[in-house]
Structure 1
Amino acid sequence: MQAFILRIAPSGIDRVHEALETDEVMIGWCRCAALIDPTLRRSGFRSALKQQYYPTDATQHRAGSAAGHLWRFLREMHIGDLVVVPHGSRFFVGKIAGDAFYSEEGVARDAAFRRTVTWLNSKRAIPREFAKAPLISRMKVYGATAEATDLIAEIEDVLSRAAQGEKPSFAEELQKKLANVAVDELRKGHMDSFAFEHLIKGLLKSMGAQTAEVVARRLDKGADVVATFRIAETFSYKLAVQAKHWDERAPVGTAVVQQLIEGIEDVGADLGMVITSGTISDKAYDCASAYTAESGVRIELVDGEQFAKLLIEQGVGGVTV
C-alpha cells in the first residue's frame, strides 16, 4: 500500500464537494489528454505540458513540477492506495478503487483526469487536530500532490480514532495549548538565530538522528544544520536544513528555498527541510514542489506552528505530555 496527499483544486477552484458526490478524485492540466497513454514516459509528460501550458517559460521548472504531479496521479497511484484530501481545517481520506481515466465531461472544469475512490470514515471530514504533526505538515503541500507512504501509520491511526468518534484527549488538548505557547515564545521570547539552529539540532537528535551538527557560518552554503539518519542499521540518508527564525515582516519565500537547494547540492543531501518559527508563502511551497519534481529530492517546509508541535511531541527541552 502507498499513500498520497491530493489537493483537489484544478485551476485553483475547489472541487472537493464534486469529488465526494461522484466518488472520484481528479486533477487538472486537462489540455494534455494524450498523457493518459500508458506508454508515455515522464519526459513526454514534461514536453507536452511545456508546450501546452508554459511555452514562454525560459526554464522547464513549472512544466517539470506539473509533470511530477500528473505522473504521480496517473502512474504511481494504484488500486488500494490511500489518498488524503485536505479541505480547509479538515481533511478526507479515501482508497483508490480504479485506474486513471480521462473524462470529456470534466474538461470544462479542468477536471478530466480522474480515478474512482472509496471514501473512508463514511465520507465524513476529519479535523486536522486529530492528526499527528508529520501528517499535518504534509497536508500543507502547496502543489497538487505529495507522497505520504511514510505516514501510513499516522493515517490509519487517525482513521481509527475518527471511526470511534474519539475527540482529542486531555493530553492532546494540552499539547495543542503548549504548542501555542511555544510558538509565541519562539517568535517573541529569548531566541536568536543561533539558538534557533541549536534547538533544531536537538529536535533532530530526539527524532533519531545519528548525527546532527550546526554548520559554522563561515562554511554555510545554504544548509544551517546537517543530520544523518540510519534505517534498519542498513540504509542511511542525509538531511539538510535551512533555518529561518521569526521575521514578522514577511513569510518565508522562494529565496529561502533556493538557499536550501544550494545547501542540498553542496552537502549531497537526500532530503531537504526549511524550518521557520514564522510562516511560509505559497510561492515557497510551489518552488519546493518544482525542485522535488525535477530532482527527486523531497523538500519539507515546516512553519512555526508545526515546529512548536513537533517540539512538544518529541519532548525537546524536557517538555512532554
Structure 2
Amino acid sequence: DMGDDAASLPAARDAFKEAFARAAPAARANSIPISAGQLYRFVHEMRIGDNVIYPRKSDRTVRWGEVVAPYVFDTEDLAEFGHRRGVRWIGKLSRDSFSQGALYELGSALTFFEVKSFAEEFREKFADPDNVAEMRTSPTQDETEHGVLRDIEETTRDFISKRIKTDLKGSALEPFVASLFRAMGYNARATRAVRDNGIDVIAHRDELGIEPPILKIQVKSHDANICADHVKAFYAMVQERDVGIFITTGDYTASAASFARSKGNLKLIDGSGFVELIQKYYDRLDMVSRETIRLRRVLVPDAQSA
C-alpha cells in the first residue's frame, strides 16, 4: 500500500506505478502494475451509483451493493484499509444460488470488470433493474495471469460443493464420507445398514476397530445451520475415549461452535472444511467416489512467479 492519498496523484496509470515503486522499493517489478492498477481503478473508474458484486469467501455468499460515496483516504486506518469508498449493501445470496458459469465469470474479476455472459442472471437473482456495474477498461494481462490460480481454485470448490448437494443427498453422503476417511488412512465403514442410532460412519486406525480412539461420525446433508441441540444430542452418543466428528454441508450456529470448543474429543467440520478435505485427499478416494465428483489435474501458472 502507498500509505498516501491516491486522489492527490495525477489521474494516470504511470503516476500510480511510480508512487507504488517509491513506496515499496523491494516489491517485484511485475507486482507493481498489478497493485497500482487496482488502486487506479478504485479511485478513478468506480462511480457513485455503480452496483458492486462482492464474493465473500468466508461464508460463501455473493453480496450486492451500490457505491454511495466518493473515494476517501482514511488516515485513522492506514494499517488496514486506508483507501475507502462507501457502499450500501443491499442483499446477499449463497454462491450455490448461481450457475457454474456465472460463478466462473464472477471469479475472473481481479478488480473491476464488465459482467456480460451472465449479467441477466445476476439481475434476476438480486431482483434489481439496474445494470451490473460495468468495467470501463479491461483487466491487464499481468492482473489476469496473477488471478488465474485463484479463479481455478474457487471454481473447483464451487463445483465440488454443488456436486455434494445434488448427487450426494441424504444417505448417499455416508458411504462417500467413509471413502474419504479411508483415503485419509482410516479403516472406515458407513453404518446406516445397521441403523446405528445417528452414528453414520465409524472409523479407526487398527484393522479390528478395538484400539481407541474410535471416530464416530455424523453426517448432515443440508444448507441449514446446525444448532447446539443437534450437536449435543450427537455428542451424547460419543464415549469419553472416542472422538466425535460432526460433518455438515452447511454451517453451525455460534452456540454449536461454542459447545464443540468446550469438548476436547469433538470436532465440527462445515461445508467449506469438508470441501477442503475432498480436495486434499481426492487422489486417494475410491473409483466410485471419484466418479461422483469428477476432477482432473491441469497445469496452471505458479503463484510465486505469476
Instruction: Confirm or deny a common fold (TM above 0.5).
Output: no
Which has the larger strand fraction?
Answer: 1
What TM-score, normalized to structure 1? 0.39
Bigger Rg, structure 1 or 2? 2
Which has the larger helix fraction?
Answer: 1
Of the two structures, which has the highest relative contact order with CA contacts closer than 8 Å and spacing of 6 or more?
Answer: 1
